[in-house]
Amino acid sequence: MSTATETAHHGEHDDHHHHAPAGLKRWLLTTNHKDIGTLYLWFSFIMFLTGGAMAMVIRAELFQPGLQIVDPNFFNQMTTVHGLIMVFGAVMPAFTGLANWLIPMMIGAPDMALPRMNNWSFWILPFAFLILLSSLFMEGGGPAFGWTFYAPLSTTYSSDSTALFVFSVHIMGISSIMGAINVIVTIWNMRAPGMTWMKMPMFVWTWLITAFLLIAVMPVLAGVVTMVLTDKYFGTSFFNAAGGGDPVMFQHIFWFFGHPEVYIMILPAFGIISHIIPTFARKPLFGYASMVYATASIALLSFIVWAHHMFTTGMPVAAEMFFMFATMLISVPTGVKVFNWVATMWRGSMTFEIPMLFAIAFVVLFTIGGLSGLMLAITPVDFQYHDTYFVVAHFHYVLVTGAVFSIMAAAYYWLPKWTGVMYDNTLAKWHFWASLVSVNVLFFPMHFVGLAGMPRRIPDYALQFADFNKWISIGGFAFGLSQLIFLALLIKACRKQGEPATSQVWDGAEGLEWEIPSPAPYHTFDTPPLIK
């Protein structure tokens, strides 16, 4: 690819654009995709540490059997808000931040298609989480019903502050929908000439499909929280059998949102990994077209598998069979991806820089999470695993060593492009190895305690689980502390301490974003580059 620049007329607003406005106003009023991307990424990291602190409370309580540190109601609030923050505050905004930074640079666009709405969709997020977090300090406490807020826990038995939870989720939803509309319109309409669909970088493809999923399911989440609100406060009985409703209906509507949601949190990760592995294997991605089709298939299948979260609710056998086989079907396109990544590495001239280490860890550990998912998909087996720590192990493998590792890989990979300096390699190595070891000490034993029958979301447990839980907690604290290394590294990089980066940064890196200087100029493409 090469860029042909041609001076063009921009209208009278040129002057405002060629230098970044300074101070607080820059961040509050910005319409710049890079500024907004940075805001999203820092917000997500702060939320990651906040949600992580809650996980530390959980692990401290579970360090020993018996009730030690917090009361059970507060423990439940911690598990609930930990989940909500990590899903809606850490992982999703991190991907949106990456989309903001990268998509315009990758497709040769000057900015996102709707820059002001872009700013709005970011700035409502901190407010949403302010509301959610402040509800923890209200009388009766915050949400304590699990991030899935199953009725009747969230209706009949929830604390007074549930209305605030509902409205904060509404705002998170509005933010995601606007962000997704922006991404989809940018990709559809702002590609540089020559950037045909099948030339689009994988990250752009995966985000296009993710954005579609977001627009399709976030409104369903808004619908279901609204029903929770009216059931709790206004006398409706959507989830109450006495009025002709059904608590299981809550689960159906919730998981109709919830299952595509988990792919929302992993498809962009697939995109990231599909960039990093070819770079450091110095080979083009194996099976690009099959990657695109696999992503689309996963997205479509995600709409017909939701009830695999509900095998034990007493569905008719035919429904259980349908959802079991549909779920297993997803492992086919996912397998295609894993094999493609491995085939990309096959006989490549591999080097193991930090992004590549995270990417390889992703492939291995995400596959473990995928395989335990396949075990959970088998209905009769799931009857045993349901609501045990096996499930907790499964989704932390796909979300922490999957989604979060991919975000870290992306941060290391593109950080030199964003800041103009190479990150501190010593700190980075410490961060990677400490995270890799501790995350497995943290989550791997959960498989065993889960298979042995330890239920999730409890502040106390039977004595025979004590040893494993001690190690899980130690792993948890270590993983938490390791992230402070990452914080130090990020602060260093953002203060531009480090060797200056070249524009290509990595030997094997290909794509439009590597052809512009590092750090990327405030406005990237004033005129469209020509993609050949």
Partner 1 sequence: MAQEEYQKYYVPEQSVWPIVGAVALFLIAVGAGNLTIDITNGNEGYGQWVLLAGIVTLIVMVTGWFRNQIHESMSGLYSDQLGRSYRQGMAWFIFSEVMFFAAFFGALFYARTIAIPWLGGASNNAMTNEVLWPGFEAVWPLLQTPGGIESTQMGWFGLPLVNTMLLLTSSVTCHYAHVGLEQNKRKQLSWMLGLTILLGCVFLGLQVEEYIHAYDIGLTLDSGMYGNTFFLLTGFHGMHVTLGTVILIVLWFRVQKGHFTPDNHFAFQAGSWYWHFVDVVWVMLFFFVYIL
CB of 378 to partner 1, least distance (A): 22
Site stretch for partner 1 (CB under 8 A), options 78-86, 243-251, 292-300, 506-514:
243-251
What is the CB neighbour count within 10 angstroms for residue 182? 25
Clarify whether 82 is annotated catalytic: yes
Of 65, 146, 223, 455, the residue at the interface with partner 1 (CB under 8 A) is 223
Identified binder of partner 1 from the candidate list 222, 350, 487, 516, rule CB under 8 A: 222
Q: Nearest to residue 186, comparing CAs of 124, 265, 107, 299?
A: 107
Instruction: Report if residue 199 touches partner 1, rule: CB under 8 A.
Output: no
Contacts of 336 (CB under 8 A, 6+ apart): 287, 290, 291, 294
Count of positions on this chain that bind partner 1 (CB under 8 A): 90
DSSP state letters, 366-423: HHHHHHHHHHHHSHHHHHHHTTBHHHHHHHHHHIIIIIIHHHHHHHHHHHHHHHSB--
Structure tokens at 162: 């549930």
Known catalytic residue at 274: yes
Specify whether 175 is catalytic.
yes
Phi-psi region at 102: left, alpha or beta (left = phi > 0; alpha = psi -120 to 50): alpha
Q: Which two tokens stand for residue 139?
A: 């009388």
Residue 364 binding partner 1, by CB under 8 A: no
- Confirm or reject binding of residue 251 to partner 1 (CB under 8 A): no
Show the DSSP H helices in 62-137 as ranges: 72-84, 92-107, 115-134
Residue 293 binds to partner 1 (criterion: CB under 8 A): no
Is 447 an annotated catalytic residue? no
Q: Which of 3, 64, 73, 230 binds partner 1 (CB under 8 A)?
A: 230
Instruction: Estimate the share of the chain in helix, then strand, then coil, as percent rounded to the nearest 5.
Output: 70, 0, 30
Of 180 and 277, the one with the shorter C-beta distance to partner 1 is 180
Angle between helices 288-301 and 267-281 (to 10 degrees): 160
440 binds partner 1 (CB under 8 A): no
Q: Write out the binding residues for partner 1, residues 10-69 only, by CB under 8 A.
A: 10-11, 13, 16-17, 21, 25, 28-32
Contact status: 527 vs partner 1 (CB under 8 A)? yes
* Tokens standing for residue 178: 């606007």
Judged by CB under 8 A, the stretch of 216-224, 283-291, 326-334, 342-350 that binds partner 1 is 216-224
CB of 226: closest distance to partner 1 in angstroms?
8
Dmax over CA atoms of the chain, in Å, equals 73
- The residue among 441 and 516 lying less far from partner 1, judged by its C-beta, is 516
Smaller CB separation from partner 1, 27 or 448: 27
For the segment 324-353, give every residue that binds partner 1 (CB under 8 A): none
State whether residue 30 is helix, strand or coil.
coil
Task: Return the residues of window 77-116 that contact partner 1 according to CB under 8 A.
Answer: 110-111, 113-116
Residue 456 bears catalytic tag = yes
> What ranges in 265-353 are assigned the alpha helix state H?
267-281, 288-301, 317-345
Q: Which of 58, 174, 399, 407 binds partner 1 (CB under 8 A)?
A: 174
